[in-house]
Every structure is written in C-alpha cells, then in structure tokens.
Structure 1
Amino acid sequence: MTDTQFGVRHVIGAPVATTRLAEQNIVCVPPRGAKFTLEEWKMSNEQRCRNTEDQQQLADRILGESERIREETAERAAIMKATTDRRIEERIGDVEFIKKELEIQRKEICLELEALSMYKTRLQDCLASLQTNALTICRKCLILRDGRIGIDLVVDDVEHALQQEITAILGGQSLLKRTLEQLNEQMRRLRSTRYLLDRDLQYKQGAIDSDRGSLSLKPTDLCLSVYEGYANLDPASISAEEYNAVSNKNIQQAAREVTSARPIRVFIDTLLNQVIDDLWTAFNKCNHEFNERIKQTKIAKEKLEDMHRETTEKISKMQNNILQLQKALSDKEGNVGLAHTRLGRRAQRISAELVRDPPGQSLYYECEMLRYSVEQLQQMLQEATASLRYLLQTQIQLEEDINVKMNTLKIDEVDCMTLRATMDYHAY
C-alpha cells in the first residue's frame, strides 16, 4: 500500500500537507433506525388518545370555572363599588358637618379679633397721652444714677422707688403696657388658632373635592390609572378616632381662646377708667429712700476711709517684715555654706576613717535643719510678698471704692435731689 492511495504526497524539503475530504471521495451513510413492534405501536396510539381526552376534560372544567369566576367577580366588584360609593357619600357628609363647625368657630374668632383690635387702639391712645414733667424728671434721675460706677451701680431701693413713682405718675402706664402685651399675645393666639382653622378647612375642602371627584368616576373612564409600585397603595396612617380628635381639638381650642379673650376686654374697661392717684405718697417714699441711701453711702465711705488708713499701716509693717525675712535668709547662707563645707571635707576621709560618727550625724542633721529653716523662711517670704501684693491691691481697690462712693454721693445728693426739688404734683 503506497502513500498515493491515501491522497498524501511527500515533497522533498517541504512539510506533509493536510488531507482534504473533498479529495478522498468518501460517502457517509447514516445509521440504521430502530424499529418498533406492533404492540408498541398500538400502545402509543392508545396513550395519545387517553392524554387527549384528559386534556379535553380539564379544559371543560376550566371553562366552567372561568365562567363562574367571571360572574362572581363582576358581582363582587359591583357590590364593592356600591358600598364604596355609599361610604364616600357618608364621609363627605361627615366632613361637611365638621367643616361647618369649624367655620362657626372661625367666625367667632374673627369677631373677637375685631373687638380686641378696638381695645388695642384705646390702650395705645391712653399710653400715648400719659406724659408729664414729673415723668421726665424721674427718668433723668434714672439716667443720672446710671452714671454710678463699680459696685455702686446696683439696683437698690431708690431704683425700685423711682420705678414705682414712674408707675404712679403714668397712672398705671406699666400696667397698661403689660395689659397691651397680654392683649397682643391673646390676639396672636387667636390669629394662630384662626390659621389652624383655615388650614383645617382647606384640608377638609380638599378632601371633599377629592371624594366628590372620586365619586364621579366610572370604570369606563379614560383617565383611570393602575398603581404598579412596591409601596403600600394606601398611605393612610391616621385612624378615624385620631382624625376626630384632631378636629375636636381645633374646635375646642378655638372656643377656649374666644372664651379667654372676653375677660381681657372687661379688665381693660376697668383699667382705662382708673386715674393717677397717690402721687405724693410715691414722691415722699422715693425721697425717703434717697435720704436713706445717701446716709448709707456716707457711712460706707467713712468705713472705707478708716480701712484705707489701717491698710496703709499694714503695708508699712509688711514691708519691714519682708526686709527682715530677706536678712534672715541672707544670714542663713553662711551657716549653710559652713555646714556643707565641713560635711564635704569629712566625706574625703579614707578607708575605715569614713565612719558614721556623731560629728558626721550632727553635721548631716545640721544641714537638714538649715535646709528646713531656709525653706520655712522662703515660704514665709513668699507669703509675705503675696500678702503685700494683696494689701497693695486692696489699697488701690479701697481708693477706687472711695472715689465710687464720692461719685455716688454727688449723683444722689446733688444732682438727683436738686432735680427732685423742682417736682410739683397737681391734678392732671
């Protein structure tokens, strides 16, 4: 058998070429199929018929069940829609009832606000008219007393008396101001409640419009949409009890604010009928407090002057004490040097002579005692120096306090009392 019988050619000096199927003329014969028996053929046909009958029976059952489900779901959808429509109508009626109650309370609040606005105008007119010469003098006294310095800038009985006199002069102006503040606060609360009612009414009207729009929709409308999200389709998280509680709270709060506003009007009517009285009592009381304060300031000034003289003497003694402590420390330097020198020489002994004998113990004890004495003297010197520094600071503070008291006496006794001598109360 040669190489040409297999279609392979060898070329000298060249690699062997790959065999091509097209050059071999090979015919591929498919494998022979398996054959079945007659019984297998009959069994296959019977099996196919039984499967077909089973599928037809299943299809009949599904058709019947589908028709029943269609009728049942249609009836259920109609019943549920009718039930939902009825409940939406009931809900619209309930919300409209609550809305009417809120509108009634809102009207009451508006009427009360109009009445309080008139009372506010009366209070402002009254406050603007209560101006007198005495008030100007008292205010000048307060401004002058603000010129006190240091610790004397204190809220004392004179300050309170001046404030009380101003209150008396104004004929209850402070009370009117506080009442005006209370009136403004009440009006603010009424406006806040009205805002809550307006917002609640807006929300309820929106809910009514939404429910009415939902009630008008039909299953055949083109504007319908199907929700395909993953979140809960019903975002409602407030129960009916909580909803009623919120509405009732707004109604009760509105009624409570209206009720609390009416006594303020009665109080303002009573207050506006009062006049300025007992001005001389306030004037005499304020003068008495001025005289007492001047007397106290003089006593305090004299005491400070005495303490200043004593502090000056203590400073002189402390300075002498510091000089003596420094001299004592200087004296101790020689003793310390002598003891250390002796102890150092004895430390240079040789061999057995370096013995712990009584002189060595005495020198060691002497060094320790001298060190302790120097520490005591240094500590006392530090304390004395600190005390001297504090005494000097105290002396400066006393001088400042004396100047403060002199300034206070000038303001109270000269400036304020001179001004108050020109005050004259008369029937306003």
Structure 2
Amino acid sequence: MDLKRERQALVSVPPPTHHSTLSEWYLNNRHCYRAAQDQQQIADRVIAKSNQLCDLISEVTKLNKAEVDSTLKERIKDTEYLKKENEIQKEECCKEEAALLIYKGRIMGALESLKEQVLKICKKCIILREGRLGTDLVHDDVERELLKEVETIEGALSLLGRTLEEANEQIRLLRSTKYFLDQDNDKKANTLQIDKHCTNIQETILNLSMYHKATPLDAGNVTKEEWEHFSKKFIKRAAQEVNNARPLRSYIDTLLKQVTEDLWKQFNVTNEAFRRRIAETRDAKLKLENEHHETLRQANEMLRTITRLEKAIAEKEGFMALAHTRLEHRAKRCATELTRDEVETRLVTEVHALRDNVSALQEMLSEAQASLRYLLTTQIQLEEEINIKAHTLKIDEVDCMTLRESMDYHSY
C-alpha cells in the first residue's frame, strides 16, 4: 500500500521547465514586434487597396447600373417604337380588310344578280323562243344575240368568280398578318411590362433575391439583329399586304365598271335585234293580213263567178232543149216538106253553138272551182301564217321583252 502511494507521488510531480535565456527573450520580443509591424503594414496596404477597390467597384457598379438603366430605357423605346409600328400597320390592315369586305360584297352582289336574275332571264327567253312555230322557228339575229349575251354573262361570272377568290385570299392574308401582329404586340407588351418593372427596381428595395437555380440567368438565345429582323418582318409583311390590297380594290372597281358596260352594250344590241325582229314580224303579219283580206275578197268574187257560170249553164240547157224540141217537131214534117231549109240549118247551127258554149262554160266553171279551191287553201295557209306571226309576236314582244325589262345592270 505504501509502495503504491509512493509511485503516485512520483508520477504527479512535473518535470522541470525549460528556462529561456535573456537573449532569447529579447530576440523573441523583437521578432514579435517585427511580425506585428509587418502584418500592420500588410493590413494597411490591404485596407488601402480594399478601399480603393471598393470605391472603384462601387463606381463601376454605379456606371454599369447607369449603363444598364440607359440601355434598358433605349430598349423600351425601341420596343415601344416597334409596337407602335405594329399597331399602325394593324390599323391599316383593319381598314384595308374592311374596305375589301365591302368590295367582296359588291362582287357577290354582282354574281348573285347576274346568276340568279339576268342569266335566267336570257336562258328563259331562249327557251320561250324555241316555242315559235313553223317557219318562224329560225336562227335569226335575236337568237344569235341572245346566245352572245348568255356567253357575255357567263364570261363575266367566270371573271368575277376568279376575282372573288383573289379577294378572299387577300382578306385571308390580311387576317393572318393581323394575327401575327397581335401575337407580336402581346409579346412586346409583356416585354415592356417586364422592362418597365425592371427600371423601377432599385438595389435598395427589400424584396430582392439571389438567383440560385441551375439554369443560367442569361436565357436569351436571340440576337438583337435577329429580334429586329423578326419584329420588322411582320411590319414589312403587313405593309406589303396593304399595298397588294389597294390595287386589287382598284382592279375590282375597273372590272365591275367594264363588266357593267359590256353587259349594257350587249343588252342594248340584243334589244335592238328584238325590236328589228318584232318590226319585221309585225310588217310580215300586216302584209299577210292584207293578202288574206284580198284572198278572201277574191274567194267571194270567185263564188259569185261560179254561181254566175252555173246559172249561165243552166240557162243554156233551156235554149238547148228548145232547139232540140224544135228540131224534133220539124222532123215530123211530111214528104217533101221535110227539107233542110234555112230554119233547119239555123237550128242545127244553134245546137252546135249552144253545145260549144256550154262546154266552154263548163270548162270555165271547172277552172273557177279549181281557183276557188286554191284560194280557200291559200286563205287557210295565210290564216295559219298570221297565227304563227301573232304567236311569234307574243313570244318576242310580250313574253321576252317584258322579262327583259326587269334586267338591271348597275354599278354594283
């Protein structure tokens, strides 16, 4: 037990410390002084450089911020300018679209009028004139002009139809351009909102935050030149579409005017052909009526002549019977009294003369009866022709010309 205590006492006693010499003590102090002074000099240089760097960086930061602010304002001005140009071009597109819609309505009105009214009237006139009878069913000037008028109308319909397609396509292009202008304007409005908000943000506000996401802060992948080209492309396209629409409207104006003039011209030519044909038909009908009147008069005169011839033949039969009776009675004379005296000779001559005269009268009666038959046949033929002419006049003058009065070509 005592041994154990001794050992513990030996362990707890510290070893003797090292004592520096006085020279080491002075040397150590000088070293500490020098190290402190060196560090102080270094610190002074660092402080000076830090102050200089801070001032420089502060100035650079302010300059950078000012430059960014100035660039941002310029960017806002550029964006506002292009947005304003977009709006101007959009307004021009809207005006041109509205004007083209009016012109489209004019074309559609012309197409409907020509197709549903005028063309149907012309074709109906052609069909009505197919109802002419006999020799009046001819290929006359009226038919040729009507067919030419139908051809003119169909040509106008074809031309107007193609122009309507062009107008629809131009309207579609204007609407497409407006759509892209609207899209670009919305993007620029959003950009302006963001950029204007950025100009109002200062380094002193409290709700600033550091960006710690993995994606880069500089997300822009479009150069300024590309942006300007992209923005101006729609402006140029809008201006081009507006420039394309204006001559199209002028062309539509000229086309409608020319079509109207051509249709009026052919309309007047066809009406003039109708008037000439109606006058010719009326004149022919009048002449036929005069011939019919004269034929009827001749037929009545021929009837009286036939009656007179029949009466004359009947009268001659009495004279013939008288002569025959006298000859018969004188044939009963006796012996030498039965002579061929002057009375006998005169009676025989009278009989021969009566026979010849009756034969001549009968021949004339046959000729008169044949002439009467021909006159009556001619009368019937004339009546048929007069009816045909009256029917033709009804078709041309009443039916067709009445229909054509409703044909109207205006300035659509």
TM-score by length of 1: 0.46
Larger helix share, 1 or 2: 2
TM-score by length of 2: 0.48
Greater relative contact order, per chain length (Cα 8 Å cut-off, separation 6+): 2
Higher alpha-carbon Rg: 2
